[in-house]
């Protein structure tokens, strides 16, 4: 058996809330191999974002362990880049400087940082906007910057928390296609949180279905349809029906 890049073992997360303990995630187990594109899907309160944030190192597990390459995750780090729904760009930095933030923060030489900036600005098609500030960009462009800064930092795992949820439909479709292309070319491992069934089927190798009260994993479906996937095809619809059923069945 291949060693997984990410291994979530019996992870439970409890929060204190108004003097009560709320279980956000109960006994989650998940193995992800290098190069896999995995979507976490489920209604709000199912613990999908909590699981993602624990992998990122922003939260710690109450029980169980999270391993990356068999080593426990200890706090956030550049090997696990995160793309937030609200972008989280630094408003005072230009597009290029946002992309170069990670390499600069890790003390890479200035010349190398410049080259990295240039390469990744180009990669996400923002060369004309390299010196623009985030507030001058559209939502889709901001999210491209957020993806580029994670890739420019050599992230092995890209964690995405409903990254396209705030975008209009056309922009979302284009970014989904671009993301798949980058994922294939860079051999990335992607853990992608969404609540849209269609998005999950369109993107993922595996769809992990989660359910609330308490948050838990209820199914782990492999998607074998060859890419590019056609959302109007019969097998796509078949999967959509099955995942809908899984989501509805566990309320």
Partner 1 sequence: MTQQSALRGPLLAAAFPLVALVAWHFTTSGRAYSLIPPPYEVGLELWDLAFGGIYDDAFSETLLTHALASMSRAYGGFGLAALVALPLGMLIGRIEIIRAMLDPTLQLLRPVPVTAWLPLAMIVFGLGPRSAFFLVFLGAFYPVLINTIFGVRSVEPRLFEAAAMLGLSPSASFAKVVLPASLPSIFTGLRLGLGLSWVVIVVGEMTGVQTGLGAIIMEARQLSRTDIVICGMAVIGVLGFASDKLIMLFGQWLLRWSPQHG
Interface residues toward partner 1, by CB under 8 A: 56-58, 75-78, 80-82, 84, 86, 88-94, 101-102, 105-106, 133-135, 149-150, 153
- Measured from the CB atom, the residue of 114 and 240 that comes closer to partner 1 is 114
- The C-alpha atoms of residue 70 and residue 73 are separated, in whole angstroms, by 9
Closest distance between partner 1 and the C-beta of residue 64, in Å? 22
To partner 1, the closest distance from the beta carbon of 101 in angstroms equals 6
Tokens standing for residue 109: 């030489």
Q: Min. distance of Cβ 48 from partner 1 in angstroms?
A: 17
Cβ 170 to partner 1, closest distance in Å?
A: 24
Q: How far is the CB of 69 from partner 1 (least distance, A)?
A: 17
Name the residue among 223, 226, 227 with its Cα closest to residue 240.
223
Q: Are 12 and 64 in contact (CB under 8 A)?
A: yes
Cβ proximity to partner 1, 27 vs 79, nearer residue:
79
135 vs 222, beta carbon nearer partner 1:
135
Instruction: Provide the greatest CA pair distance for the chain.
Output: 55
SS3 99: helix
Nearer CB in complex with partner 1: 32/150 = 150
Q: CA 56, CA 52: separation in Å to the nearest integer?
A: 6
**Contacts (Cβ under 8 Å, ≥6 apart) of 15:** 21, 22, 24
Mark 189-198 as b/e (b = at least 16 C-beta within 10 Å).
Answer: bbbbbbbebe
Separation of alpha carbons 186 and 11, rounded Å = 29
With respect to partner 1, which residue has the nearer C-beta, 50 or 211? 50
- Of 115 and 235, which has the nearer Cβ to partner 1? 115
Min CB(105)–partner 1 separation in Å: 4
């Amino acid at each position: 058996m291949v060693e997984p890049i990410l291994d979530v073992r019996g992870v439970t997360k409890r929060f204190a809330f108004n003097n009560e303990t709320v279980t956000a995630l109960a006994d989650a187990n998940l193995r992800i191999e290098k190069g896999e594109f995995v979507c976490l899907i489920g209604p709000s309160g199912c613990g999908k974002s909590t699981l993602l944030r624990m992998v990122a190192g922003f939260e710690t597990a109450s029980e169980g362990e999270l391993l990356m390459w068999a080593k426990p995750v200890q706090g956030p780090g550049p090997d696990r880049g995160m793309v937030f729904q609200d972008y989280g760009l630094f408003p005072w930095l230009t597009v290029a400087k946002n992309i170069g933030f990670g390499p600069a923060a890790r003390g890479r030489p200035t010349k190398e940082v410049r080259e990295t900036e240039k390469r990744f600005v180009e990669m996400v098609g923002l060369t004309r906007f390299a010196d623009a500030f985030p507030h001058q960009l559209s939502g889709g462009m901001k999210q491209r910057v957020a993806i580029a800064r994670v890739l420019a930092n050599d992230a092995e795992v890209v964690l995405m928390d409903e990254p396209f949820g705030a975008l209009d439909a056309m922009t979302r479709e284009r970014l989904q296609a671009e993301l798949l292309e980058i994922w294939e070319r860079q051999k990335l491992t992607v853990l992608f949180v969404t609540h849209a069934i269609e998005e999950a089927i369109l993107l993922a190798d595996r769809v992990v279905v989660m359910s609330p009260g308490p948050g838990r994993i209820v199914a782990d479906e492999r998607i074998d349809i060859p890419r590019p996937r056609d959302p109007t095809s019969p097998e796509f619809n078949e999967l959509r029906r099955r995942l809908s059923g899984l989501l509805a069945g566990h309320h």
